[in-house]
Every structure is written in C-alpha cells, then in structure tokens.
Amino acid sequence: MIRSTTRAVLAGGAALALCATAAQATTYTFSGSTDSGPLQGATFSGQFSYSDVGLPSDGEVALSSFTLSFAGQAYTLASATSAATAAFAGGSFVGLSYLDDASADTALRPQVGFTPGFVALGDAYFAYVGSGGLGGFGSYGVSAVPEPAAWLLLALGGAAVARRAARAQAALR
C-alpha cells in the first residue's frame, strides 16, 4: 500500500512538474519598511509578476502585474507614471523599477518609487515623498509565490506522511 501511494504521489508530482515548466509567469511578494522620513517605520507590501521566458542576464523585463499597499493607499501598474520592470544583473534579480509620482496631494497619496540595486537586491530601495514634500527611504525583501501545482504536490506529500503516521500509531495500539 505504501509503495502504491508513493508511486501515485511521484506520478502526480511528475505530471505537476511538467505543468510547472510550461508556466510563463513568475509571481513574487515583497514587503519592507521605511527607515527614514516623516513616515519612518511605516510598512509596505505587495506583489508583482513577469514572464520568465527569455529573461536577460543583464537588463530589465516588463512587469505583467504589480500591486503595492503603502500608507493606506493602493498602487498598481495602471497608476505607474513610467515603465514598471524587474531588473537583473549577472543573471540575478536585483530589484524593481517603478514610479508613481502623479499625485498632486502628497499628504493624501504619497508619491512612491522603487529603484533596483546595481549588483544585488540588498542594494535596491523604496522611496516616497509625503506630506509637505518630505520623503524617505526603505528596504524590502522578495519571496517567490509557490505555483498552485507546487501547493498540490506539497499537500499530496503531506497527506501521504499523515496516513503513514496514522497507520504506525494504529499498529502500536
């Protein structure tokens, strides 16, 4: 029984891996906090995606989606005032390039931007201009969002482990 369950999980995983390799969008989440300016300590978070086909070793690729939540405001690709991109250097992701500086009332809606690092994500930063034209900076981290196929594979593996543990406990009784 365990061998057949293992074979089913492995076969399902192989099928999911084939589906995953056909995927063309990579999605990430980011979060950080500001370390200067009038909104020092404010947190921000969001999500972005881009096509993983033909990624440059050095250069930028256009974002296919972008959301940011900061200071009670939502920012999207539609609100960007310049091209929104993911930047790469030496084959590594080094940060986002995004600018939303169209707000005339920065007390209500801060102007925000992301600047990629030169050689590493640790060099990238988030910047804002808020009330009275005063601004600040912050850093951020990025995490990959598992694809639905990866979640399914994890769930199948977890279910198999739980069944084995239940059988082992039943055998001890």
> What is the SS3 assignment for 17-35?
HHHHHHCCEEEEEEEEEEC
Output the pLDDT for position 158.
60
DSSP class of residue 145? P
Task: Measure the CA–CA gap between 45 and 112, rounded to whole angstroms.
Answer: 13
Q: Which residues of the chain have pLDDT under 70?
A: 1-24, 147-173
Output the pLDDT for position 140.
97
What SS3 class is residue 135? Answer: strand
Output the pLDDT for position 3.
38
Torsion of CA 76, 63, 88, 136, to 10 degrees: -10
Whether the CB-CB separation of 121 and 94 falls below 8 Å is answered with yes
Output the pLDDT for position 6.
34
Output the pLDDT for position 25.
81
Place of tokens 């250097």: 89
Output the pLDDT for position 52.
84
Q: Identify the burial level of 45 via C-beta atoms within 10 angstroms of its C-beta, where 0-12 means exposed, 13-18 middle and 19 or more buried.
A: middle
